[in-house]
Structure 1
Amino acid sequence: MNSPRSILLVAFIVVSFFLFQQWTIDTAPGTKAPQQTQQTTQQTENQNSAAVPQAGSNTADSAVPESNSPNAITSNGRLITVVTDELELKIDLNGGDIVSAKLLEFAATLDSEERFQLLKRNSNHIYIAQSGLIGPQGIDSNNGRAQYQATQERYRLEGDTLEVPLTTQTESGLQVTKTFVIKRGHYDIGVNYAVENQGSEAAQFQFYGQLQQTMAAGESGSMIMPTYFGAAYSQDEDKFEKYPFDDMREKKLNVTTESGWVSMLQHYFVAAWVPTQTQQNKFYSQVTRSNQAVIGVLYPSTTVQPGTSQTINSTLFVGPKDQDAMAQVAPYLDLTVDYGFLWWLAQPIFKLLQFLQSFVINWGLAIILVTVIIKALLFPLTKAQYVSMAKMRLLQPKMKSLRERYGDDRQKMGQAMMKLYKEEKVNPLGGCLPMLLQLPIFLSLYWVLLESVELRHSSFVFWIQDLSTKDPYYILPILMGASMFFMQRLQPTPATDPMQQKLFQYMPVIFTVFFLWFPSGLVLYWLVSNLITIAQMLIIYNGLEKKGINVRGK
């Protein structure tokens, strides 16, 4: 980034990258699922129902039951509250659905006392986690959900584990206990069904777990800071597959897999159903008439003989995109922290940031230390770059002579220049290598700062209270532009082409404007990188000039 063409190339690549990134979000490929053969039950205008795929002759007419009407948000007062160190949940006893989930460690906005609410159910927005038992002897259907009983209206975690049992019994003799199990320090919730058949006939049913959300409620950010809002899943053949709502409208998901999970993603947060990984489960999707997106998992059919019991287990994750926490819940769930195609570079950078932050206790200082480490590692290449530029300057008289000799004969001119480079042992591309190496690092750090929830609302110093968002006073972008301008003054004389000269002169202004909307943590990285580069330039130039090599032409 220390020559006119290099800076122009960086600007072009950066702009192209953000245009490409926005295009991939707008046109993200969906699932390659085969044509769906599922049936949909009749829906009314005030219902938000979602059908599940056919799972055999005994469940062909089964359907995932409807959620409550948006107008019935209080469910006649039949809500219980569950509070742990991390979560505040509200569970509707009509069906046992989680209809509200607040993350107690995360503020809704910077410095707000209000906690961030991931799951919710109100007149404008439905985002709930449903589960139940459907089938011939299932306790949930579109004609009515299971009506559970609880011993308390409010549960609070006192020890290391909290269990919230809900009970119901059918006329046919099925005794069902739906238990939510939450551990201290965890965002994963065990959702377990204990079914005891006290009747005289065998009972057959299937477990389902699904996430239902209003599609119009999400945001995808801007071109500078695009974020994904939609569904995603993991299966045997694909570790991580985005499933945008637009694709959900066009083709229903129908995947049979032994491993994996289904989820709804948004910036920094995720809700996911993780089924038992020892059987062939079905992943399905549905878009309801009331514009609700549904993605879920359906277990194989279970039969409980009279006088016997059966336990069905599943896990619901509701929380931040904490890579360490998600990796313990399910394989590849941590890939919901989407670092793009440079994930293999972004993940080590994040681990390094995380390691440094554990010592300095400040993400801004950690970014500065990462910048110093990166510049130190690249210093040999940086030095080779300036030496190459110095040699190119020494060749200018000879190159001018070649231009006068060959005139407009570009072919002979090119051959003569390549011969000259070979004789003088000069690589004309030597100045581009450090820039090409820094660009993937820059893009990886951009994704790290954009996607890592650890940097959400993380302060640096003074006015920088959130490194994941833009500088509110634009001080860092202005300082970054000033550092670029100073770097220009130190660099060799720009190219003789008038157009390149003008673009080179305006580049600090262009970059400053462009960086106004960048996360302040990324601008901090670029500013510190420029300051270190300036120091390196002064050291290298002074060393070369002591050897009699006039680098800067001054």
Structure 2
Amino acid sequence: MCLKRIFLIFLCLLLIIFSWKQWNISIKNFNFKSVKVSHNLIESSLKNDSQINNVHVKTDVMNVIINLSNGNIKEIKLLQYQEHLNSFKKFILFNKQKTSIYKIQEGLLSNESLKFIDKNYAINFKHYKLANDQKILRVPVEFVSKNGVQYIKNFIFKRGSYDIQIEYYIHNLNIFSVNLNLFGKIQEKFLIQKKKNIFHISSNTNHLSNISYYSDNNKYNKFSFDDIYRGRNIKIFSHDGWIGSSQKYFIISWIMNPKNQNMMHAYYLHDNQVVIEYHTLDISIFSGQKKILRSILWAGPKIQHKMSLINSSLGLSIDYGFLWFLSRPCFLFLNILHNITGNWGISIIIITFIMRFLMYPLTKFQYLTIAKIKSLQPQINTLKEKFKNDTVRLNQFVLKLYKDENIHPLGGFLPVLIQMPIFLSLYSMLVNSIELRHSPFLFWIYDLSDRDPFYILPIIMGITTFYIQKTSPPDLVKNDSRTQNIMNLVPIFLSFIFLWFPSGLVLYYLVGNIVTIIQQIIIYKEFQNIKKNKKNNTILK
């Protein structure tokens, strides 16, 4: 099997894997009684939003607006992320829009009437700001119900973090006990476009494109809004876990308190709306008793080390694919390099050189094996002529020839299969890391997560690919015109595909090609020296 054919097979496998994404994940439903939150709450909340009754909270990483009419978070603006590259507008994770619904709710349900406790909250200040010397900011809102139960809802913000802890301090001053359910909800309206009898669904707000959750028994699962639209509902019981709506770089997720018994639920509502929610089972508060109920909302970027501090499984929402166990350590290593260099592009170049250096023995073994097989081609052709009617003896002599030369028949292809998971894991890591979003490299590359604006990197990568093909020594490559024509089209096709790939990913493959060229020169030069020495020894004998 020649080097060019191996390269062609390897390239086709890469393109197939890159293009194919598996979205249908089997989900097991549990039959538990669900306490659904009344959807009239959404309508009433929208009406209440029209009232100017907001609290503004500013930390070092986010601006938050809380609506006092129902005690819900109305808007979150991420201060360290722009909406678009070179934009002055900060990225708004969600807010009220007239043409769509995308909002979150959190609160308490009165179990007796299944009615949301949404009275007007009282507060001391309308503006809160995290001071420079302050690590934690608490925003308390309060009301007392008609039946004598005191509710204090405390929003807790931490410096440098995107989690919002929500604590309910409940004091039952009534003579009767109170049964409550703590709940969190995400409701989003999505857009459906029908084309060729296939429904393509995309978010109408901030492109939150899938639903993911983690539970005690089901562990991590992910599925699309399309799955929910087609009737795949989720009803999972779990103590620990989380459920949320996410896109490529950002996620909004409710993280449950493992001390409670929790129900996670996701389903299609109506009018292209998906509901993602969780609630606790009944929590009884007796007369005179005080109780604290807690939940956590993560609303921000998918930063692996920060999410792991809140919940060890929340980092699974970063879609590294089926090779996540390789992509994660690769990213940790890349992050270490970035801490040293201060530039993600330079870090990508360094990690590419390191990976190729570590895999050099495999690459060398692969190239030398192919070269040895090619050098034996005249002898193999002679055997084919001699045993053209006896394939059994032909195979025996060919295998003996390989054994005498210490060649394994699959030695040229097995190293490719071994290296492929490394390449794919690096691909997934570079494509899904928010750290590369709006990160500049050098000169015209201002965003490593976006395509090259002038297509320079993909074109150079195509040229280097073509050069790799042409630098193979002619005596090691069989002159097959059909194979040669196909291989000549590969660099063009590859450049065309990579035109729309993130420039950070193209940079990785371009540097990999440059390293391959250097390695080819060294390996084939060494092979020629081996052949020359072997020939000289034969003459002397």
TM-score by length of 1: 0.88
1:146 corresponds in structure 2 to 119
Are the equivalent residues in 2 in contact too, given 1:65–1:145 (CA < 8 A)? no
The CA distance in 1 between the partners of 2:219 and 2:447, in whole Å, is 32
Displacement after TM superposition at 1:441 (Å):
1.9
CA separation in 2, counterparts of 1:271 and 1:217?
22
Counterpart CA distance in 2 for 1:85 and 1:329 is 18
Q: Separation in 2 of the partners of 1:475 and 1:111?
A: 21
Q: Is the 8 A contact 2:104 2:185 kept in 1?
A: yes
1:16 aligns with 2:16: yes
For 1:530, the equivalent position in structure 2 comes to: 513
Check the 8 A contact 1:75/1:92 in 2, yes or no: no
State the 1:124 CA deviation: 2.5
CA distance in 1, matches of 2:426, 2:147: 59
2:327 is aligned with 1:346: yes
Deviations along 1:499-553, one digit per CA (max 9) or x if unpaired, are: 21211122111211121122111111111111111112212222332344499xx
| 1:230 paired residue number | 210
Aligned-partner SS, 2:409: coil
**Structure 1 residues 232 and 484, CA gap change in structure 2 (3 angstroms):** same
Distance in 2 separating the partners of 1:550 and 1:387:
16
Query: Which of 130, 144, 168 is the matching residue for 2:105?
Result: 130
Larger displacement relative to structure 2 (519-528 or 410-419)? 410-419
Residue in 2 that maps onto 1:314: 295
Match of 2:456 among 475, 480, 486: 475
**Per-residue deviation, residues 160-201 of structure 1 (Å, max 9, x unmatched):** 211111111211111111110101111111111111122222
Q: Deviations over 1:443-494 (max 9, x none)?
A: 1111111111111111110111111121111111111111111111211343
Do 2:208 and 2:245's aligned partners in 1 also have CA atoms closer than 8 Å? no
Task: Indicate the residue corresponding to 1:247 in structure 2.
Answer: 227
1:63–1:134 CA contact under 8 A, matched in 2: no
- How many Å separate the matches in 2 of 1:450 and 1:118? 21
Pairwise mapping of residues 199-348 of structure 1 onto structure 2 (< 5 A)?
A: 199-216=174-191, 229-249=209-229, 250-348=231-329
Task: Name the residue aligned to 1:182.
Answer: 157
**1:31, distance to aligned residue in structure 2 (A):** 2.2
RMSD: 2.6
Residues 492/72 of structure 1: CA separation in 2 closer, same or farther (3 Å cut)? farther
1:276 aligned counterpart, secondary structure:
coil
SS of 2:25's partner is: coil
Aligned equivalent of 1:164, options 127, 139, 146: 139
| Percent identity (aligned) | 35
TM-aligned CA distance change 1:268 to 1:325, over 3 Å: same
Contact 2:32–2:237 at 8 Å: present in 1 too?
A: no
Name the SS for the 2:75 alignment partner.
strand
Query: Is contact 2:190–2:201 with CA below 8 Å preserved after alignment?
Result: no
Equivalent residue for 1:381?
362
What 5-or-longer segments of structure 2 have no aligned partner? 194-199, 535-541
Encode CA deviations 1:374-407: one digit per residue, 9 max, x unaligned.
1111112222223223322321210110222233
> How far apart, in 1, do the equivalents of 2:44 and 2:496 lie?
47
In structure 1, the residue matched to 2:488 is 505
User: What is the alpha-carbon distance in structure 2 between the residues aligned to residue 2 and residue 397 of structure 1?
Assistant: 14
How much has 1:299 moved relative to structure 2? 1.2
CA distance in 2, matches of 1:546, 1:497: 27
The 3 A distance-change label for structure 1 pair 135 and 150 is same
Hey, what's the Cα distance between the residues in 1 that align with 2:156 and 2:313?
Answer: 23
In the alignment, structure 1 segments of 5+ residues that lack a partner are 39-51, 54-61, 222-226
The alpha-carbon distance between structure 1 residues 332 and 154, as it changes in their structure 2 partners (threshold 3 A), is same
The answer as to 2:89 corresponding to 1:89 is: no
- 1:436-515 matched pairs, under 5 angstroms: 436-493=417-474, 494-515=477-498
Aligned to 1:44: none
Q: Cα–Cα, structure 1 residues 74 and 550, in superposed 2: closer, same or farther, change >3 Å?
A: farther
Provide the residue aligned with 1:56 in structure 2.
Answer: none
More off after superposition, 347-356 vs 405-414: 405-414
Aligned to 1:57: none
2:170 is aligned with 1:195 = yes
Q: Do the aligned residues in 2 keep the contact of 1:107 with 1:114 (CA within 8 Å)?
A: yes
Structure 1 residues 160 and 228, CA gap change in structure 2 (3 angstroms): closer
Whole-Å Cα distance in 1 between the matches of residues 452 and 387 of structure 2? 53
Secondary structure of the corresponding residue to residue 42 of structure 2: coil
Relative distance call for 1:326 and 1:195 in structure 2 (3 A) is same
Q: Are the equivalent residues in 1 in contact too, given 2:2–2:370 (CA < 8 A)?
A: no
CA contact (8 A) 1:149 1:166 kept: yes
Find the residue that maps to 1:427 and give its secondary structure: coil
1:139, distance to aligned residue in structure 2 (A): 9.2
Match of 2:25 among 20, 23, 29: 29
The 3-state SS of whatever aligns with 1:500 is helix
CA distance in 2, matches of 1:111, 1:70: 35
- The separation in 1 between residues aligned to 2:2 and 2:151, in whole angstroms, is 70
**Aligned structure 1 segments of 4 or more residues deviating by more than 6 angstroms:** 217-221
Aligned residue for 1:367, secondary structure, equals: helix
Following TM superposition, by how much is the alpha carbon of 1:411 offset from its aligned partner in structure 2, in angstroms? 5.0
Match of 2:537 in 1: none
Structure 2 SS opposite 1:517? coil
Q: Is the 8 A contact 1:64 1:134 kept in 2?
A: no
* Segment of structure 1 superposing worse, 262-271 or 514-523: 514-523
**TM-score, structure 2 length as denominator?**
0.90
Alpha-carbon contact 1:188-1:318 (below 8 Å) kept: yes
Q: 1:44-83 residue pairs with structure 2 within 5 A?
A: 52-53=35-36, 63=38, 66-68=41-43, 72=47, 74-83=49-58
**Deviation at residue 101 of structure 1 after TM alignment:** 0.6
Work out the CA distance in 1 between the residues paired with 2:87 and 2:192: 21
* 1:107 corresponds to 2:82: yes
- Stretch deviating more after TM superposition (65-74 or 161-170): 65-74
Match of 1:149, SS? coil
Distance (Å, rounded) in 2 between the aligned partners of 1:463 and 1:514: 20
CA shift at 1:286, angstroms?
Answer: 3.2
